[in-house]
Amino acid sequence: MKLALVGDIGGTNARFALWRDGQLESVRVLATADFATPEQAISHYLIDLGLAPGSIGAVCLAVAGPVGGEHFRFTNNHWRLSRSHFCQALQVQELLLVNDFTAMALGMTRVREHERLQICPGVAEPGSPAVVIGPGTGLGVGTLLSPAEGRWQALPGEGGHVDLPIGSPREAQLWQQLFNQLGHVRAEDVLSGNGLLQLYLAMCTVDGQVPSLSTPAQVSAAALSGDALAAQVLDQFCIWLGRVAGNNVLTLGARGGVYIVGGVVPRFASFFQASGFIRSFSSKGCMSGYFEGVPVWLVTAEYPGLEGAGVALEQHQ
């Protein structure tokens, strides 16, 4: 395969790399706000590497949202894309667009043992699906299926937009406050970077506290420094992540395990390991026993979305 380019484009950052002989090369991270279009960002990346137009044969971009058709509008940033214009502007022969969590799921096939922490013990059941879920700018959810005829499959979806589940009277109080603010409460409204702040503000209102923190980073930093209210917020974040992840396991029969990905949770990995995640993940009443032996890992790999875009491109050829 001719030299290819892979990208993993989020709301804030666009990650690009060359894909050669099944490996990433020359990874760069660019701010989406610095460029008007994805073509401009990729041109900048190629010029920085000294590559001339036409030197790239194919491009695979992992993007947030449903893919299909000539035009694509990015969910979490201002970019838009026309497939034909993109190929013409960058002189590439082929553009493959894949859902970002399709790429993330495929990236799990490349994660090495030292790039994941085991949160729940167990062994992946051969032939069973695995759930890939990750809070970031939004909440991504994907499904990894075992190879069929040597090819991995990943199911795209919009699982971050499911309704936020309620599992206790306390959560019902918090949900009511979130509903008062939002009207409709999705899992992503809590399980994302901005969602963490939203949850903090809701908990302050429910508990009659005056908010003193104004960013998600401040909330997590305060929690890790011993602030009691912030720690409750962060623990509730982990509990809700467990509920949503567990619901996906039941829906999909995902005894192949759960991969927690994204940029949020690895920042407080030790807190997460000791949080209420494990309890809420498997607390499903009469179906709680179903979770025995289902492994959960926290993925710490640096560029799994890029790796997955490379896998998608190779399997597409």
Each residue of 153-169: b (16+ CB within 10 Å) or e?
A: ebbbbbbbebebebeee
At 158 the pLDDT is: 86
Q: Say whether 54 counts as a known binding-site residue.
A: no
At 226 the pLDDT is: 96
At 301 the pLDDT is: 95
Both structure tokens of 305:
């979305």
Q: Say whether 160 counts as a known binding-site residue.
A: no
Please state the length of the chain: 317
Q: Say whether 8 counts as a known binding-site residue.
A: yes
Q: Say whether 9 counts as a known binding-site residue.
A: yes
Q: Say whether 159 counts as a known binding-site residue.
A: no
At 256 the pLDDT is: 96
Measuring CA to CA, which residue among 17, 11, 110 is closest to residue 61?
Answer: 17
Is the separation of the CB atoms in 248 and 254 below 8 Å?
A: yes
Is the separation of the CB atoms in 302 and 116 below 8 Å?
A: no
Per-domain residue ranges for the chain? 4-105+304-316, 112-300
Can you name the CATH fold of 112-300? Hexokinase; domain 1 (3.40.367)
Distance of CA 292 to the CA centre of its chain: 25
Sequential pLDDT tens for the chain (317 residues): 579 999 999 878 899 999 999 999 999 999 999 999 999 999 999 999 999 888 999 999 999 877 888 999 887 788 999 999 999 999 999 999 998 999 999 999 999 999 999 999 999 998 899 999 999 888 999 999 987 667 888 987 889 999 999 999 999 999 999 999 999 999 999 999 999 999 999 999 999 999 999 999 999 999 999 999 999 999 999 999 999 999 999 999 999 999 999 889 999 999 999 999 999 999 999 999 999 999 999 999 999 999 999 999 999 87
Is the separation of the CB atoms in 27 and 304 below 8 Å?
A: no
CATH superfamily placement of domain 4-105+304-316: ATPase, nucleotide binding domain (3.30.420.40)
